[in-house]
Amino acid sequence: MILGLETSCDETSAALVTAGGEIRANVVASQADLHALYGGVVPEIASRRHFELLEPVVTAALDEAGASLDDVETIAVTAGPGLIGALLVGVAAAKAIAWGRGLPLAAVNHLHGHVSSLYLQPLDLEPPFTCLLASGGHTLLLDVRERSWEGVRVLGTTLDDAAGEAFDKGARLLGLPYPGGAEIDRLAREGDPTAFAFPVARLDGLDFSFSGLKTALLYAVRDLGEAETDARRADLAASYQRAIVRALVERIEATGADRVAIVGGVAANSELRAALPDAVAAPLPLCTDNAAMIASAARYTAALEPGAYLALDAFSTS
């Protein structure tokens, strides 16, 4: 089995996945309630909390799988991109476990992990396909030709905010708690998505931009005033969400792709899933950051042998 570790942002996760892609355990300890006190992720707090949680999360994953470290043949860890302090906790732990057990270590790109959530059982999607990866930190349109990261080509990316970041910042403007994407999705079901005509950026190529949309929401809230914003919060949430989803769907449609998949935290959004009924979506538990997707990606990543990974470092940007 592969023991995967994920600490790129505010979820501490450990998973055990077989070479055939069966998830034996996938334990995720979320820090959302902790960071909600500050309206978003505080990197230093996230790093310290990963340090506290990682050992019990690994123990819980082994217990859930009915396994021990004797059953593990490879260690996998997110090396980046992400919050550098948070990543270093996971990388250091992975090195220690791998070195102590004399095991190889696979340093996984977090973005490859999201795509590799599609390769786990029972879904096990076979390339080629066009993939929308939309999360709190990244929005990418990918041409996936092979299961290895070397077989993935970027077709488009965000020029400013990621889609998930736009959701979180929009939620803050509307006075909704963190994490904002889920809160907007919930509230939008009570609102009219045509109530406000928020803009969708028109760019050459397949890139995305959400900063203008965020500014439009800011101006709308300012012009409405506190009382009217409170009364129309559901309409604002629905209209704002509709604009984000339109931007994502239009770029996908512009590729003319026959086979489409969606992954990442934003792939859990109910309106995005409804707007792309024929797309293959990652299962909801695998949309947000988790270690099962990292272990999955390790199956298609060359592992470093003992000694070779001692100099391995984390990286914050892709």
Residue 263 maps to a domain: yes
Q: Check residue 266 and give its pLDDT.
A: 97
Shared domain for 152 and 32, answered yes or no, is: no
DSSP 154: E
Name the residue with tokens 């629905």: 238
d(CA 192, CA 27): 37
| Alpha carbon separation from 233 to 39, 194, 198 (Å, rounded) | 18, 13, 14
Q: Check residue 178 and give its pLDDT.
A: 87
Residue 310 maps to a domain: no
| Alpha carbon separation from 292 to 8, 94, 268 (Å, rounded) | 14, 15, 17
Shared domain for 233 and 199, answered yes or no, is: yes
Name the residue with tokens 């996984």: 108
Residue 309 maps to a domain: no
- Work out how many domains the chain is built from and give that number: 2
Residue 26 pairs in a beta bridge with 15
What's the token pair of residue 122? 């029972």
What pTM does this model have?
0.95
Lowest mean pLDDT among 22-26, 47-51, 143-147, 203-207: 203-207
Mean pLDDT within 32-38 = 87
pLDDT in tens, 176-190: 998 899 999 999 999
Shared domain for 72 and 139, answered yes or no, is: no
Q: Is the pLDDT of residue 316 over 90?
A: yes
Residue 115 pairs in a beta bridge with none
pLDDT in tens, 56-93: 999 999 999 999 999 999 999 999 999 999 999 999 99
d(CA 310, CA 178): 37
Mean pLDDT within 100-122 = 98
Shared domain for 17 and 159, answered yes or no, is: no
pLDDT in tens, 226-254: 999 999 999 999 999 999 999 999 999 99
Q: Check residue 39 and give its pLDDT.
A: 83
SS3 assignment, position 296: helix
- Do β-strands 2-6 and 74-80 pair in parallel, antiparallel, or remain unpaired? parallel
Shared domain for 173 and 31, answered yes or no, is: no
The alpha carbon torsion through 266, 269, 275, 280 (nearest 10 deg) reads 70
Burial of 255 (0-12, 13-18, 19+ CB in 10 A): middle
Residue 208 pairs in a beta bridge with 158
Residue 205 maps to a domain: yes
d(CA 196, CA 107): 45
User: Which one-letter amino acid corresponds to residue 247?
Assistant: A
Residue 191 maps to a domain: yes
Q: Check residue 53 and give its pLDDT.
A: 97
Residue 43 maps to a domain: yes
Q: Is the pLDDT of residue 1 over 80?
A: yes
Q: Check residue 33 and give its pLDDT.
A: 87
Residue 23 maps to a domain: yes
What range does the domain containing 159 cover?
Answer: 127-281
Shared domain for 261 and 136, answered yes or no, is: yes
Pick from 243, 251, 277: which is nearest to 143 by CA?
251
d(CA 290, CA 117): 9
Residue 312 maps to a domain: no
Pick from 247, 294, 257: which is nearest to 279 by CA?
257
Q: Percent of the chain beyond pLDDT 90?
A: 94
Contact predicate 296/116, CB 8 Å: yes
Q: Check residue 32 and give its pLDDT.
A: 86
Give backbone dihedrals phi and psi of 234, rounded to 5 degrees, phi first. -65, -40
- Which residues fall within 8 angstroms of residue 152, CB to CB, at 6 or more apart? 112, 115, 131, 142, 143, 144, 145, 146
What's the token pair of residue 37? 């006190």
Q: What is the mean pLDDT of the chain?
A: 96
Q: Give 17-39 as a DSSP string.
A: E-TT--EEEEEEEE-HHHHHTTT
Shared domain for 133 and 277, answered yes or no, is: yes
CATH number of the domain that residue 75 is part of: 3.30.420.40
SS3 assignment, position 240: helix
Shared domain for 43 and 110, answered yes or no, is: yes
SS3 assignment, position 206: coil
pLDDT in tens, 149-160: 999 999 999 999
Shared domain for 133 and 272, answered yes or no, is: yes
Shared domain for 168 and 260, answered yes or no, is: yes
Shared domain for 198 and 75, answered yes or no, is: no
Shared domain for 53 and 146, answered yes or no, is: no
